[in-house]
């Protein structure tokens, strides 16, 4: 229904039929004339392997029934992934930090870690490994939702810096510092760096 007011034209649904084109004089008290009633349904949802945070799953014909015999709508389920304290996702890669001692980083080592699914993985840390180096294990990450294969397991190295040392360890560390000399290898550092330990 449309009407004019001055220079402007307005349209709105008919008050009698609400824009449906017909009206029911004696509607059913149960469905209020809509030919549908509300019911709750339980159903099982299969979450695919490798689902990512914020993904939407469409469940066909699980939404509201259509009015006046119309088709049933779809149900959309949005997935939120609970964060893990040790791992996080980067695209299809699974990323986790690995804390190592200074000797392990310098001399290299093999470390066994537990993957997010509980399986054991052996990580080979190369000699002279820097902090924040990414060590990649191909095919050990998340299954790809689109395409084939899996992402990678990415290990990011960290160094364990002890806050307290016993006397013997401290003396050994001081001797090692003396062997390195009093200047860092890159000359942009502070001269006399190793002579200025706090003790």
Predicted TM-score (pTM) of the model is 0.70
Task: Say yes or no: 93 and 114 in one domain.
Answer: yes
| Per-residue pLDDT tens digits for 157-180 | 999 999 899 999 999 988 988 887
**Is 97 part of any domain?**
yes
Q: Identify the CATH number of the domain in which residue 157 sits.
A: 2.60.260.20
Contacts of 122-131 with CB under 8 Å at 24 or more apart are 123/98, 123/155, 125/100, 125/157, 129/100, 129/105, 129/157, 130/105, 130/157, 131/105, 131/157, 131/158, 131/159
Examine the pLDDT at 186 and tell me if it is beyond 70. no
Q: What whole-number distance in Å separates Cα of residue 29 and Cα of residue 14?
A: 22
Across 15-29, 36-50, 58-72, 85-99, least confident range: 15-29
Higher-pLDDT residue of 112 and 2 is 112
Task: Say yes or no: 115 and 130 in one domain.
Answer: yes
**Is 11 part of any domain?**
no
**Is 31 part of any domain?**
no
**Is 38 part of any domain?**
no
| Per-residue pLDDT tens digits for 128-153 | 999 999 999 999 999 998 888 999 99
């Amino acid at each position: 229904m449309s009407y004019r007011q001055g220079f402007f034209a307005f349209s709105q649904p008919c008050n009698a039929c609400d824009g449906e084109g017909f009206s029911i004089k004696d509607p059913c008290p149960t469905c209020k004339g809509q030919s549908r009633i509300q019911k709750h349904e339980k159903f099982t949802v299969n979450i695919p392997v490798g689902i990512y945070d914020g993904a939407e799953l469409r469940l066909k014909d699980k939404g509201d029934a259509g009015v006046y015999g119309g088709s049933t709508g779809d149900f959309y389920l949005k997935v939120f992934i609970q964060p893990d304290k040790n791992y996080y996702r980067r695209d299809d890669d699974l990323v986790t930090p690995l804390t190592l001692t200074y000797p392990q980083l310098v001399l290299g080592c093999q470390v066994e870690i537990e993957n997010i699914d509980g399986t054991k993985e052996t990580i080979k840390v190369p000699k002279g490994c820097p902090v924040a180096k990414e060590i990649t294990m191909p095919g050990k990450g998340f299954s790809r939702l689109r395409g084939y294969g899996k992402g990678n397991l990415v290990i990011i190295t960290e160094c364990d810096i002890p806050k307290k040392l016993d006397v013997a360890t401290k003396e050994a560390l001081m001797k090692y510092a003396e062997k390195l000399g009093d200047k860092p290898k890159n000359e942009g550092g502070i001269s006399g760096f190793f002579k200025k330990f706090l003790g």
